[in-house]
Amino acid sequence: MLILLGYGLTNQAIARKFSPCFIFDDSFKEESQDSFGNFLLPPCRLLETLEKYPDARVVTTPGIPPKNPLILSTNPISEYDFFSHCMPFSVWISGTNGKTTTTEMLTFLLQSKGAISGGNIGTPLADLPTNAPIWILETSSFTLHYTNRAKPNLYLLLPLSQDHISWHSSYESYVEDKLKPLLSLRDKEIAILPQVFESHPYAKSSLAKLFFYRDSKHLAEIFGINTQRIFFKEPFLLDSLLALSATKILFNTLDYDLLNSFKIGAHKIEEFYDSLHRLWVDDSKGTNVDATLEAIKCYAHKPLYLILGGDDKGADLTPLFDRMKNLQITLYAIGSNAEKIVALAQRFQKPCVLCHTLENAIEAIKKNHDSQSVAMLSPAAASLDQFSSYKQRGELFKAYVLS
């Protein structure tokens, strides 16, 4: 018998493939069944189900935090562990920013080798064919926290900064979950990591071959990559270098032409113009401080109208304000942490308009924006306080601008 905690995309895919299952989610208020014959139950029914099926396997959706009563009652496994027995050769990609782009780039570079992508990027493991030669998995810290059996064959880690602190309880715990795969890698398997973690106990205990990089230039030097032949600039340069490094490790190839034909996805420092030829930038994917800092760097030479705010997940925003203090930036605060942003703006003496909503912020910006300035949505926060996803936030941003 299979018990699933949470009914997000991950467990929905497992439930379709392995029905009938018992599924527990806070949104279920009474017992029911779905079209696949799965039993949908409120959390209060969990203990009696565990007593009835003491040998049941329990799989959690990655987003449920460790202190949730469902987790504390069951000691569940991740979807990665659930499929560990049939997982093909796999590359796991993690980090705070750039996971999706790096995963997409590497999959694009290895498409001729039959590589397919999944995990946090959108396709649950239950929907990936196990006969594929390579799985390239965007891997979240949530998934890593619950993973104790599965392991990658190659692990790529982008730089880390404060993110999901409220979920992990501390930055140190967040780092430990991100470095956890190092403990399971075997001799001759490889991981590429930021150099700041070279002295971490997990790195020192790892049996794998570890490559540590300081920055893009250093990473290129390690793997003999000519950055002059790459069209992408930061922050996408590091993503492309990690993808190329993986192809060099796996197949001893560096296909610059193929890499340069890759198209960056939507909502990542995506520029567009309105009818008055004013530049707007959709960086709705900028869900943490480091991502927003990278976006700001691209426009530091121009007056910038910046929309900030949402669910900051308990992160410290002061480094962002500290970096902005000498730049010509006007802030427009939205979302659940809008008041917090206004208070920080007053402390750092940055002009800030309390807007609460995205639509209000855009209307306020339109009164001042011209062809010499830049208006950008890069919230340094997650979207779920006001939107269904960062994608919806970005799409509404464009729609409001162009309306």
The answer to whether residues 380 and 320 touch, using CB atoms and an 8 Å cutoff, is yes
| Bridge partners, 331 (sequence order) | 306, 352
Q: Which of 239, 234, 215, 237 is nearest to 103 (CA)?
A: 239
The answer to whether residues 223 and 201 touch, using CB atoms and an 8 Å cutoff, is no
Class of residue 327 by CB neighbours under 10 A (exposed 0-12, middle 13-18, buried 19+): middle
pLDDT tens digit at each of 403 positions of the chain: 999 999 989 999 999 999 999 999 999 999 999 999 999 999 999 999 999 999 999 999 998 999 999 999 998 999 999 999 999 999 999 999 899 999 999 999 999 999 999 998 879 999 999 999 999 999 999 999 999 999 999 999 999 987 778 888 899 999 999 999 999 999 999 999 999 999 999 999 999 999 999 999 999 999 999 999 999 998 899 999 999 999 999 999 999 999 999 999 889 999 999 999 999 999 999 999 989 998 999 898 999 999 999 999 888 999 999 999 889 999 999 999 999 999 999 999 999 999 999 999 999 999 999 999 999 999 999 999 999 999 999 999 999 999 9
CB atoms within 10 A of CB 120: 21
* 81 SS3 class: helix
CA trace torsion 391, 392, 395, 399 (10° rounding):
-170
Domains and CATH numbers, the chain: 2-76 (3.40.50), 86-260 (3.40.1190.10), 270-402 (3.90.190.20)
Q: CA angle, corner 202, sides to 153 and 142, nearest 5?
A: 70
CB atoms within 10 A of CB 6: 23
What is the pTM for the complete model shown? 0.82
* 171 SS3 class: helix
What are the residues whose beta carbons fall under 8 Å from the beta carbon of 239, sequence distance 6 or more?
A: 98, 101, 102, 105, 158, 232
Amino acid 164: pLDDT: 78
Amino acid 272: pLDDT: 95
